[in-house]
Amino acid sequence: MTMRWLMCYSVLFIVILCCVVHAQRLSPFDVRIDHYKTETTRDLIINTPRPRFSWKLPISNDPTQRNIQQIAYQLQLESIKISETDSSFKWDSERIASTQSVHVPYTGEHDLLPGTNYRFRLRIWTTMSKDPIQWTSWIQFRTAIFNLHEYLTTNANPLWIGSTQINMNELRKEFSVPNTSPVRSAIVYISGIGYYQLYINGYNVDPSRKLDPGWTTFEIRTFLTSFDLTSNITAGMNAVGVKLGNGWYSGEQLGVPSYGPPRLLFILNITFQNGEQMQVLSDQTWTGRQGSILRDSVYNGESYDARNDREGWTRPGFNDSLSAWIMVESLPSPVSDALNGQLVLQDMPPIRAGVDALHFETSVFNQNKEYLKASDLSGIKGASFTDGRSSVLKPISVSQPTVGIHTFDLGQNMVGWCRVKLRGLRGVGVYFRHAEILSQPLHSTGQWTGGIYTENLRGATQFDSYMLRGDPNGEIYEPTFTVHGFRYFQVSGAPNPLTVDDVECPVVHSETTLKGNFSSSNAIINQIQHNIQWGQLGNIMSVPTDCPQRDERRGWMGDAALSVNEALYNFDLIKFYLNFLNLICDVQQSNGAIPDVVPNGGGYPSDPNWGTALSTITWQLYRHYGDSQILSNYYDHVRAYVENIRSGYNNTGLVNLAYQFGDWVPPPPNPMILGKTSDTQAYSAFYQQLAEEFHRVFFNTTTNFYADGMQAAQVLALALPNVVPETARASVFTRLLSDITDKGNHVSTGIVSTAQLYPLLSDNGHHDLALQLITTTTYPSYGYMFMNPYENATTIWELWDAPSEGPGMNSRNHIMYGSIGAWFYSHLAGIDISPSMITIRPRMASEGKKHLLAKLNCQLSTLYGLVQISYTRDERDTVANSILMHITIPPNTQARVVFEPLFPNSHCQTLIEGDKVIWSANATTTHVQNFVVQREAITGIMTVHIGSGQYEFQALWQ
Ligand SMILES: *[C@@H]1O[C@H](CO)[C@@H](O)[C@H](O)[C@H]1NC(C)=O
Ligand SMILES: *[C@@H]1O[C@H](CO)[C@@H](O)[C@H](O)[C@H]1NC(C)=O
Ligand SMILES: *[C@@H]1O[C@H](CO)[C@@H](O)[C@H](O)[C@H]1NC(C)=O
Ligand SMILES: *[C@@H]1O[C@H](CO)[C@@H](O)[C@H](O)[C@H]1NC(C)=O
């Protein structure tokens, strides 16, 4: 992390100089504005007056077309007139000669106006033809009210409303819209905290959107969201209804003081064709009641009494003779003036349930051939990730251990809830519990006695209940303001016999796109990858969480820092993490200190490995998206944090710096040791000083290794630049390797050093060992999580020894050990996406270990398009010691493909692309048919420089 920060410094400037790469063809696609994917974002709203655009160059169906680059682009942007009185705005960039296709700035003279509808389109010129590629279609978006807080507190003045008297969680208001002129626009801004759902004239405005708005430190930042309801408001009477939930605003949550009852802020602007306007605000004319939800809690689930359902309560003309609707009270704003708290537009994709939650840019079985067959992947336990069936899970089995109890197995540890079909008498109560695993007797006797194991949820009950209204046609229940982490779903008291067809469970997480796919001929690695992707998805719930099930689910910074690289390889999360960076900065103290947990931070100053989330996430976002603006935007915060660490260090020295979690949860019984106090770097001299001090303090000159010799100490010292003097490197490595051997080829590392161990081994001539460790299935190992006598993990455990540990801290879905997932992409597939050059360098196991990874297929969707690498060792029977590698490089980029020797001291004989020899050991020329091939004399490593296109390389080694 040290080096990363140093690099932040220089890259900040260098990146501005060196333009990103170039190329192109048909009609641009996957267009983004302000990082939002326009293809998948509905009601696209941006919160900046000067957006930036990205697009991908079209891909030809002709695989022979290569080296495609963009040479120019043209952007056109114009306002969409709402009323007769609006002025119109048009901007045309004209043809701009430029290779830039990502983060292209709007360069118009005038800022975009707030609260305005716009559309834009673009076209490009490429090296493929003289003519421009055809325009994209017009893409609509609208701008937010940029200074929302000021607008709401000075101009509009809606009230925060709710009740201190009753559990008021259904609020409604009717209003009349005149028919003098047609409605041309109806825009709503709403905040309902903890959670809200908005209904207009009887319909939920966005049914898949859940648990909105995102979680923040409410007193500093509270989110509003906005909807375009233009098609939904008509002349005459209209009605708005809002359901409120406690969410994270509730005092029930761990370690957070109660803020008070839920509350609503609402403002609807209706503009008519003739330019007239009207507003509907949250004010004291609204009424409310306790609706069907009697109780709701993030941790403890929800109680729902369907007898309280009032048909039509969000429609105009509703008249309720059965329940008491009372006037709302005006409640204080959640944001604190003293803390300069702000009402802010939520500027990231929302949490969604089901098919709308996950989009796809990659798939396992793509057009690109036969490298991995379905049968290679058929053994994976858990729900399939890439065929679109992963968004709503059906149980794979149901059992009835006792009369009146059904236990459903989803086959996958997931995050969300279940929808259940019930039929029975009015007032019958049905109870739902959620657990990650079955109760322990299975472990000892093999006979399951019917229980689910909920002890590891600790204080979170994850318990829902439903009281039937008695509909003879049946009724469907699904909870509204809670979320569960579980694989087993237990229903008690159902009045009707249930089958698997009566249950389906939407997967719930922040909306995102799957952008990475990694699969191989090794079943263990494939299962780990599966578990990481599911674990990651379950831990993006508006903030990166440590776990999704017990009474925690918090934004632990260490977990976020360790997983972010893996997360960004697998999912498109730029908006999500930018939001999280803002939440971190919200709670940064004036002395630069940041807490261990965000939002609602606790634990100042953070342990350095936790606090590093600020710089690590900033850096990884830059690395994965090539957007240097991210570095400059957070630079001051990172610097302040580094200075804070530095002053702590000045006071205490390295050994006693702050407090230390050390290397968290290594496999027992090994004690943990030193904290990795590495992220103290901003300045190289200071870093060097620390590096030397680290060595001085922890290196034992008698034994020639660090501390007491445990793996973590050696790994961290070796992984940090300049800590281990050259003269000591060999002995430290020897110690690390011998300790691994002594433990029967097992790691003894916790989360911090595990993240470093695998890249360290692969980069230092021990890739074979790294592969051996990752494919181990005996304790402790990743493989043990799903190859043990007790449980079949389908996500990543918190502890290496989960089955033998008590419930206190023993989640089956923690993402922190998922850090290894980055190594799958960066070393096994070998994809490095530095902003100016793609490098593909799959690390090679030697001949003796090639069976561990004989085939691999990896796709990574970048802002330029899909990067793909597939390889097969010794594919063509006639030639042993060969590798066949298929590579796809997206247009407008350049790549280096690096071939490592297939076995020690081997030499490349021939390098073939398609059916042409492009390099041969016998020939003197190295430039053949546009391929620039280099051979490194000492290592024998071969490098080929290529542009975009599809390639089939074969390298023969002797
Ligand atoms: C609003 O109108 C659109 C377009 O007619 C429709 O698709 C949507 O379901 C409506 N939403 C509500 C809440 O009525
Ligand atoms: C409502 O309309 C007024 C007048 O055009 C405008 O200033 C304001 O920003 C609008 N507010 C919302 C919430 O759209
Ligand atoms: C820490 O000590 C160094 C060297 O004495 C000094 O230059 C630096 O300003 C100090 N930094 C802080 C934050 O106290
Ligand atoms: C270094 O290792 C030796 C041999 O194990 C041990 O006796 C000694 O105490 C260690 N020194 C320190 C400073 O820990």
Total structural domains in the chain? 5
Q: Is the CB of 200 under 6 A from ligand 1?
A: yes
* 644 CA closest ligand 3 atom index: 13
pLDDT above 50 (res 788): yes
CA 518-524-530 angle, 5° bins: 45
Same domain? 118 vs 238: no
* Residue-level pLDDT at 15: 29
Which residue did the predictor score with more confidence, 661 or 700?
700
* Residue-level pLDDT at 879: 64
| Residues shown for the chain | 958
Q: Say how far apart CA 706 and CA 695 lie, in whole Å.
A: 8
* 231 CA closest ligand 1 atom index: 2
* Residue-level pLDDT at 447: 63
Which are the contacts of 597, defined by CB distance < 8 A and separation ≥ 6?
554, 555, 556, 557, 603
Structure tokens at 171: 């609020």
Same domain? 869 vs 812: no
* Residue-level pLDDT at 835: 74
Q: How far is the CA of 202 from the centre of ligand 1 (A)?
A: 10
Can you tell me the mean pLDDT for 80-101?
A: 92
* 229 CA closest ligand 1 atom index: 1
Same domain? 743 vs 888: no
Listed as own residue / partner, the contacts of 39-46 with beta carbons closer than 8 Å and 24 or more positions apart are 40/359, 40/511, 40/513, 41/349, 42/206, 43/142, 43/226, 43/227, 43/228, 44/139, 44/140, 44/141, 44/142, 45/141, 45/142, 45/143, 45/144, 45/226, 45/345, 46/141, 46/142, 46/143, 46/144
CATH number at residue 67: 2.60.40.10
Q: Say how far apart CA 440 and CA 790 lie, in whole Å.
A: 9
Same domain? 629 vs 530: yes
Residue nearest to atom 4 of ligand 1 (CA): 231
Q: How far is the CA of 240 from the centre of ligand 2 (A)?
A: 19
The answer to whether position 309 is within a domain reads yes
Instruction: Give the alpha-carbon dihedral of 204, 208, 211, 217, to 10 degrees.
Output: -100
Cβ neighbours around 449 below 10 Å, total = 12
Q: Which of 44-53, 511-520, 573-582, 801-810 is predicted with the least confidence, judged by mean pLDDT?
A: 801-810
Single-letter amino acid, residue 96: I
**Do you find a cis peptide bond into 105, omega within 30 degrees of 0?**
no
* 201 CA closest ligand 1 atom index: 14
* Residue-level pLDDT at 658: 52
Confidence of residue 130 (pLDDT cuts 50, 70, 90): confident
Which are the contacts of 497, defined by CB distance < 8 A and separation ≥ 6?
none
Confidence of residue 924 (pLDDT cuts 50, 70, 90): low
Half-sphere exposure of 632 (CA within 13 A, CB side): 9
Q: How far is the CA of 723 from the centre of ligand 3 (A)?
A: 21
The string of DSSP codes covering 659-723 is ----S-SPSTTSPP---------SSHHHHHHHHHHHHHHHEETTTTEETTS-HHHHHHHHHSTTT
Q: How far is the CA of 559 from the centre of ligand 3 (A)?
A: 30
Cβ neighbours around 729 below 10 Å, total = 14
Q: How far is the CA of 693 from the centre of ligand 3 (A)?
A: 16
Structure tokens at 381: 């336990």
Q: Is the CB of 650 under 6 A from ligand 3?
A: yes
- Residue 209 bridge partners (DSSP): 352
User: Which of 459, 492, 510 represents a domain boundary (last residue)?
Assistant: 510
Q: Say how far apart CA 329 and CA 920 lie, in whole Å.
A: 82
pLDDT above 50 (res 438): yes
The answer to whether position 11 is within a domain reads no
User: Which of 96, 122, 143 represents a domain boundary (last residue)?
Assistant: 143
Which of 655, 701, 702 has most ligand 4 atoms within 8 Å of CB, for mutation?
Answer: 702
* Residue-level pLDDT at 376: 63
Q: Is the CB of 697 under 6 A from ligand 4?
A: no
Q: Which of 222, 921, 879 is nearest to 582 (CA)?
A: 222
Q: Is the CB of 647 under 6 A from ligand 3?
A: yes
Which residue did the predictor score with more confidence, 363 or 686?
686
CATH number at residue 541: 1.50.10.10
Confidence of residue 386 (pLDDT cuts 50, 70, 90): low
Which of 655, 673, 674, 700 has most ligand 4 atoms within 8 Å of CB, for mutation?
Answer: 700
* Residue-level pLDDT at 682: 46
CATH number at residue 501: 2.60.120.260
The binding-site residues of ligand 2, defined as CB within 6 angstroms of any ligand atom, are: 115, 145, 187, 189, 267, 269, 277
The string of DSSP codes covering 18-46 is S-------SS-EEEEETTEETTT-SS-EE
Same domain? 457 vs 596: no
Find out whether 290 and 166 touch, Cβ atoms under 8 Å. yes
Q: Which of 726, 730, 703, 706 is nearest to 717 (CA)?
A: 706
Q: How far is the CA of 136 from the centre of ligand 1 (A)?
A: 26
Q: Is the CB of 363 under 6 A from ligand 1?
A: no
**What's the whole-number average pLDDT of the chain?**
89
* Residue-level pLDDT at 401: 85
* 701 CA closest ligand 4 atom index: 1
Can you tell me the mean pLDDT for 933-951?
A: 94
Q: Where in the sequence is the domain holding 255, given as residue range(s)?
A: 148-346
Helix (H, G, I), strand (E, B) or coil at 760: helix
* Residue-level pLDDT at 377: 66
What's the pLDDT tens digit per position in 395-417?
Answer: 999 999 888 999 999 999 999 99
* Residue-level pLDDT at 678: 40
Same domain? 152 vs 240: yes
What's the pLDDT tens digit per position in 489-538?
Answer: 999 999 999 999 999 999 999 999 999 999 999 999 999 999 999 999 99
Confidence of residue 108 (pLDDT cuts 50, 70, 90): very high
Q: Is the CB of 703 under 6 A from ligand 4?
A: yes
Which residue did the predictor score with more confidence, 696 or 362?
696
In Å, how far from its chain's centre is CA 287? 39
Listed as own residue / partner, the contacts of 684-692 with beta carbons closer than 8 Å and 24 or more positions apart are 684/6, 686/646, 687/2, 687/6, 687/722, 688/722, 690/2, 690/649, 690/654, 691/2, 691/720, 691/721, 691/722, 691/723
Which residue did the predictor score with more confidence, 831 or 925?
831
* Residue-level pLDDT at 877: 58
Can you tell me the mean pLDDT for 666-679?
A: 38
Q: Which of 70, 89, 62, 67 is nearest to 78 (CA)?
A: 89
Residue nearest to atom 13 of ligand 4 (CA): 700
Q: Which residue has the tokens 């379950």?
A: 538
What's the pLDDT tens digit per position in 329-353?
Answer: 999 999 999 999 999 999 999 999 9
pLDDT above 70 (res 375): no
Q: Which of 880, 829, 148 is nearest to 517 (CA)?
A: 829
Confidence of residue 83 (pLDDT cuts 50, 70, 90): confident
pLDDT above 50 (res 611): yes
Q: Say how far apart CA 271 and CA 185 lie, in whole Å.
A: 5
The answer to whether position 620 is within a domain reads yes
The answer to whether position 19 is within a domain reads no
* Residue-level pLDDT at 84: 78
* Residue-level pLDDT at 903: 85
Confidence of residue 81 (pLDDT cuts 50, 70, 90): confident
Structure tokens at 687: 């870093």
The answer to whether position 17 is within a domain reads no
Same domain? 778 vs 804: yes
Q: Which of 60-74, 315-329, 489-503, 848-862 is predicted with the least confidence, judged by mean pLDDT?
A: 60-74
What's the pLDDT tens digit per position in 7-45?
Answer: 333 333 332 222 222 233 368 999 999 999 999 998 999
Can you tell me the mean pLDDT for 354-380?
A: 70
What's the pLDDT tens digit per position in 269-307?
Answer: 999 999 999 999 999 999 999 999 999 999 999 999 999
The answer to whether position 364 is within a domain reads no
Same domain? 121 vs 173: no
Find out whether 614 and 643 touch, Cβ atoms under 8 Å. no
Confidence of residue 1 (pLDDT cuts 50, 70, 90): very low
Can you tell me the mean pLDDT for 852-874?
A: 94
Q: How far is the CA of 712 from the centre of ligand 4 (A)?
A: 17
Q: How far is the CA of 338 from the centre of ligand 2 (A)?
A: 27
The answer to whether position 77 is within a domain reads yes
CATH number at residue 875: 2.60.420.10
Q: Are strands 293-297 and 301-305 parallel, antiparallel or unpaired?
A: antiparallel
Residue 219 CB burial class (10 angstroms; 0-12, 13-18, ≥19): middle
* Proximal ligand: closest to the CA of 651: 3
Which of 646, 651, 686, 689 has most ligand 3 atoms within 8 Å of CB, for mutation?
Answer: 646
pLDDT above 70 (res 738): yes
What's the pLDDT tens digit per position in 886-923?
Answer: 999 999 999 999 999 998 888 999 999 998 999 999 87
Can you tell me the mean pLDDT for 581-599?
A: 95
Which residue did the predictor score with more confidence, 19 or 451?
451
User: Which of 143, 161, 177 represents a domain boundary (last residue)?
Assistant: 143
Residue nearest to atom 11 of ligand 3 (CA): 647
* Proximal ligand: closest to the CA of 233: 1
pLDDT above 90 (res 651): no
* 646 CA closest ligand 3 atom index: 13
Which of 269, 270, 271 has most ligand 2 atoms within 8 Å of CB, for mutation?
Answer: 269
Structure tokens at 32: 């983004």
Q: Say how far apart CA 91 and CA 116 lie, in whole Å.
A: 15
The answer to whether position 699 is within a domain reads yes
Same domain? 495 vs 598: no
Q: Which of 157-166, 243-252, 441-450, 489-498 is predicted with the least confidence, judged by mean pLDDT?
A: 441-450
Q: What percent of the chain has pLDDT over 70?
A: 89
Q: How far is the CA of 269 from the centre of ligand 2 (A)?
A: 6
* 205 CA closest ligand 1 atom index: 13
**Alpha carbon separation from 702 to 247, 634, 709 (Å, rounded):** 56, 44, 12
* Residue-level pLDDT at 14: 30
Same domain? 503 vs 566: no
Q: Which of 51-60, 209-218, 276-285, 604-613 is predicted with the least confidence, judged by mean pLDDT?
A: 604-613
* Residue-level pLDDT at 22: 28
Which of 647, 651, 687, 693 has most ligand 3 atoms within 8 Å of CB, for mutation?
Answer: 647
pTM of the model: 0.93
Find out whether 946 and 889 touch, Cβ atoms under 8 Å. yes
Q: Say how far apart CA 338 and CA 335 lie, in whole Å.
A: 9
In Å, how far from its chain's centre is CA 606? 23
Q: What is the 3-state secondary structure (H, E, C) of 361-375?
A: CCCCCCCCCCCCCHH
**Alpha carbon separation from 435 to 136, 409, 533, 754, 792 (Å, rounded):** 48, 10, 20, 28, 14
In the chain the first and final C-alpha atoms are separated, in Å, by 39
Q: Where in 117-262 does DSSP place strands (E)?
A: 117-126, 139-143, 160-162, 170-177, 183-193, 195-200, 203-204, 209-210, 221-228, 236-245
Same domain? 229 vs 321: yes
Same domain? 822 vs 890: no
